[in-house]
Amino acid sequence: MAILEILEFPDPRLRTVAKPVVEVDDRVRTLIDDMFETMYDAPGVGLAATQVNVHEQIVVIDVSEDNSEPLVFINPEITVLDEEIFKYDEGCLSVPGFYESVQRPRHIRVKALDRNGDSFEIEPEGLLAVCIQHERDHLLGKLFVDYISPLKRNRIRDKLEKQHKRQA
């Protein structure tokens, strides 16, 4: 397994729309394992393949306190089940150090493939539902900063660009 480089905002590669996975094979399973290792190391609760510059529809999530509930979503499709909005302070491994309040549907249905290519469906609520929607946005080339005001988004962009220049 390997720890992969996580792209950071405003890297334009984060805006790439991911393509569906055609076949779940050993290459995809190795990527999934590397994504989990990268996410746990960061540390985070979710990671989309887009964030590690692989533009395929793969998401890994683990919202447990002890990293004991790893979930894999390949080619996830989301249906909103309840229009009730859940407001949550979101952060992102691609926007390190920043948290902003984002509103998302509280209850969703997700259809996806697991790490073996088997189809499954779940109906999460609350934090897991928010996390799945956040990671699915990455596959569509969207970031949580797209939900906040342009002023806040530009301020975050400027701070991260300065940080990247200092590190270079």
Alpha-carbon span 135 to 149, nearest angstrom: 20
* Non-local CB neighbours of 65 within 8 Å, separated by 6+ positions: none
Check whether 134 is labelled as a binding-site residue: yes
Check whether 138 is labelled as a binding-site residue: yes
Given 8, 90, 100, 135, which residue is catalytic? 135
Sign of CA dihedral 37, 112, 69, 101: positive
Please give the sequence-ordered ranges of beta strands (E in DSSP) within the chain, or none if there are none.
46-48, 58-61, 71-92, 95-113, 119-122
90 flagged as catalytic: no
Active site residues: 135
What residues are designated binding site for Fe cation?
92, 134, 138
Annotated binding site: 92, 134, 138
